[in-house]
Amino acid sequence: MIDVDAVTIDYGHGEQTVRAVEDVSFRLEKGKSLALIGPSGCGKTSLLFALAGLLHPRSGIIGIDGEEVNTPRRDVALILQNAGLLPWKTVWQNANLALLLNGDFPQQNAAEVLAHLGLDNVMTRFPAELSEGMKRRVGIARALSTAPSVLLMDEPLASLDTLTREKIQDLFLNLWHEHEFSMILVTHNIEEAAFLGQRIIVFTDRPAQISATIDNPQMGSIDFRQNPTFHGVMSQLREALEA
């Protein structure tokens, strides 16, 4: 269970203080998915970093499974817009970076994860030899290598072409079903939010406050894009964002 209770996040001090998030509260049950969407720069990423234990709220509490989040947790994985691969390390080394740095993580079978992501034939290659879509998959493999119970994603598919984006969205969906982690996705993409979010929170401009919450219980199948409900959810999102 993820609990966000009256969270406010500020940057800077005194007259230089900028409020990124203001009085945000929500709850996500274990194994469920949530999409966060709103204007650029509104504070979505700040909230995600607080969930990851990388930022401390000015006020309010973030809890995971009954424990307050004050520092990064080993059962929480974060995927950034930039895959963040080390250029001097191979696909295998990048995918297993957390395990190489600290071997006492619980872990998936790395070879199986890489194979599942279609990377088993490029494990000895370096990031410069990979397409952008393959780099993103290596970042996914690295996140899954620690067997997380919570997967946080900050615009993980930005700048990808439409077909590659949809293929990796499908991959996220399959992995979510298979590993049953809780999933929180920050995105600017209406279609992505509708496809991957069982619940979707719409934020105002900065400071981020919740302007709408849309339930999307029929998501979860690869063919959901062809479902009239999918297009209905996208229409609701557009209306909420325009409002």
Query: Is residue 9 exposed (0-12), middle (13-18) or buried (19+ Cβ within 10 Å)?
Result: buried
CATH 3.40.50.300, the chain: domain bounds = 2-75+149-242
- Which one is the CATH code of 2-75+149-242: 2.40.30.10, 3.20.19.10, 3.40.30.10, 3.40.50.300? 3.40.50.300
Segment among 99-103, 105-109, 214-218 with least mean pLDDT: 105-109
Whether this prediction's pTM lies above 0.85 is answered by: yes
Mind listing the pLDDT tens digit for each residue in 68-79? 998 988 889 998
Residue 231's pLDDT is 95
- What does DSSP assign to residue 59? E
- The DSSP line for 180-193 is --EEEEEES-HHHH
Q: Are 41 and 206 in contact (CB under 8 A)?
A: yes
Residue 94's pLDDT is 87
Q: Give me the residues paired with residue 201 across strands.
A: 36, 213
Q: C-alpha distances in angstroms, 237 versus 131, 173, 215, 216, 243? A: 32, 20, 11, 11, 10
| Spatial strand order in the sheet of 2-11 | 18-28, 2-11, 59-64, 67-68
Kindly tell me if the per-residue pLDDT of 182 is higher than 90.
yes
Residue 173's pLDDT is 92
Name the residue among 63, 55, 84, 36 with its Cα closest to residue 184: 36
Residue 105's pLDDT is 47
Kindly tell me if the per-residue pLDDT of 106 is higher than 50.
no
Structure tokens at 200: 């979707």
Residue 145's pLDDT is 78
- What does DSSP assign to residue 155? S
Phi, psi of 214 (to 5 degrees): -120, 125
Confidence of residue 163 (pLDDT cuts 50, 70, 90): confident
pLDDT, average across residues 130-153 = 86
Kindly tell me if the per-residue pLDDT of 109 is higher than 60.
no
Confidence of residue 104 (pLDDT cuts 50, 70, 90): low
Q: How far apart are CA 169 and CA 175, in angstroms?
A: 10
Tell me the torsion sign for CA atoms 13, 50, 56, 102.
negative
